[in-house]
Chains A and B, each alone.
Chain A
Amino acid sequence: AQSVTQPDIHITVSEGASLELRCNYSYGATPYLFWYVQSPGQGLQLLLKYFSGDTLVQGIKGFEAEFKRSQSSFNLRKPSVHWSDAAEYFCAVATPEEYGNKLVFGAGTILRVKS
């Protein structure tokens, strides 16, 4: 069964600094990969997704993620963090067969932004 690991429970960055959130997955083939953001009182919002093709994926709010097959990773990046980016971020995977039916989530990374 596929699994997702987000090694960092909390990350604190200064406003304007760059950000990288780590995500590693376990799956025999290339899964579909997702990053979601959850702000208090809000539902999970999809930031970006990777199905195939270009391994560098652009998302909303200035985020991007890079799929590295050799490392089974899909790390999320942002060159300059804003205070409004403080939230919890979840990486998720789905098998192509189960996509739309079953998402497997990581434990999440809480991002704190200091001014």
Chain B
Amino acid sequence: GAVVSQHPSRVICKSGTSVKIECRSLDFQATTMFWYRQFPKQSLMLMATSNEGSKATYEQGVEKDKFLINHASLTLSTLTVTSAHPEDSSFYICSARPDPTSGNEQFFGPGTRLTVL
């Protein structure tokens, strides 16, 4: 149980285009989903927290107009990188947390490798 998927696993796009990454909780409902970014040889950095049906909360320094997050259902959150540039190339990881009353553990997706040419 507690499986989180991400799609696509890998994407290459041209500079200036937008890319959408999906995060799904497959066997549980996630009231909260998190988006992380991982640079090579660095730790995962939390970008934003999204609660179903409300606006995402972004960490300091993360451009909310650049990284659009939508959490329209209890099993799906999307991250859209708008007008992507080479510096946005990174590994993006989502996690999902079930209803807090059932525990606070986050379950992680396998990540999406974004390469912007």
Q: Quick one: closest A residue to B3, CB to CB?
A: A43
Instruction: Count how many pairs of residues, one from A and one from B, have CB atoms less than 8 Å apart in the complex.
Output: 47
Q: Which B residues lie at the A interface, using CB under 8 A?
A: 4, 9, 32, 41-46, 49, 93, 95, 97, 100, 104-111
In the docked arrangement, what's the CA distance between A9 and B40, Å?
A: 11
B103 to chain A, nearest CB (A): 8
Known: A44-B93, A100-B97, A100-B100. A107 touches B106 (CB 8 A): no
> How many interface residues does A have (CB within 8 Å)?
20
List A residues 56-115 near B (Cβ within 8 Å): 90, 99-108
A103 to chain B, nearest CB (A): 7
In the docked arrangement, what's the CA distance between A79 and B105, Å?
A: 27
* Residue A4 at the chain B interface, CB threshold 8 Å: yes
Known: A99-B104, A100-B100. A42 touches B41 (CB 8 A): no
Task: Beyond the given A44-B44, A90-B44, A99-B104, please list 13 additional residue pairs across the A-B interface where CB-CB is below 8 A.
Answer: A9-B41, A43-B4, A43-B93, A43-B95, A43-B108, A90-B43, A100-B97, A100-B104, A100-B106, A103-B106, A104-B43, A107-B41, A108-B41
Are B46's CB and A108's CB within 8 A?
no
* Residue A53 at the chain B interface, CB threshold 8 Å: no
B22 to chain A, nearest CB (A): 14
Q: Quick one: closest A residue to B44, CB to CB?
A: A105
B89 to chain A, nearest CB (A): 18
Q: What residues of chain A lie closer than 8 Å to B108, measured between beta carbons? A: 36, 43-45
Are B43's CB and A4's CB within 8 A?
yes
Q: What residues of chain A lie closer than 8 Å to B41, measured between beta carbons? A: 9, 107-108
In the docked arrangement, what's the CA distance between A45 and B93, Å?
A: 13
